[in-house]
A and B are shown apart, each in its own frame.
Chain A
């Protein structure tokens, strides 16, 4: 499944499926991007980052894709697990200024 935008949509996936969470960032001059995971009532945790001179970066079960042409960032989670249920939000960085999206709530159904 996919979700789009900087509001707080909800994405519901079946355990074991792949998840795709999208983010449309605002500043074409942003040169660094981060995906954070935030569980209910907790602080955000770093998942993965990417610089603007890259278009793809892979981590453990996660991949971030960057499309600078359309100012779009996505987070792909492979084989989604119940522990992945959380709010995911992107952050863009430019000239000592970091801006955060509102996030997408991911719910994993067993």
Chain B
């Protein structure tokens, strides 16, 4: 089956610790994205990558870091500098189709920092 996987589904961390969220896709998509979802708000873009070894900051990149060493993988690290890290994190990918800009989403990781 083709798709996007995120792990773990739930993650708990103490304040001050860095934590890395996994995102893997086997759709052969070039572009990958990380969003943060908070109650009552639309998805907010953290980072995106259009191609391997390249990534760009989104609207709320502060306190986060990413890497894109492989086409299939786009891990997100939530650092201790992120002031309000508790949220639902969604990873997405998009292919190079000329007819659609649809982003395919993973199942999400709910991060709780106490």
* Residues of A near any B CB (own CB < 8 A): 6-8, 32, 34, 36, 41-46, 49, 89, 91, 93, 98-103
Contact = CB atoms under 8 A, between A and B. Distances in A.
A18 to B, nearest CB: 25
26 contacts: A6-B42, A8-B39, A8-B40, A34-B102, A41-B110, A42-B107, A42-B108, A43-B4, A43-B90, A43-B105, A43-B106, A43-B107, A43-B108, A44-B43, A44-B90, A44-B105, A46-B102, A46-B104, A49-B100, A49-B102, A98-B45, A98-B103, A99-B42, A100-B35, A102-B41, A103-B42
Given A44-B90, A100-B42, A32 B108 contact: no
Interface residues of B, number: 20
Interface of B: 4, 6, 35, 39-43, 45, 90, 100-108, 110
A45 B105 contact: yes
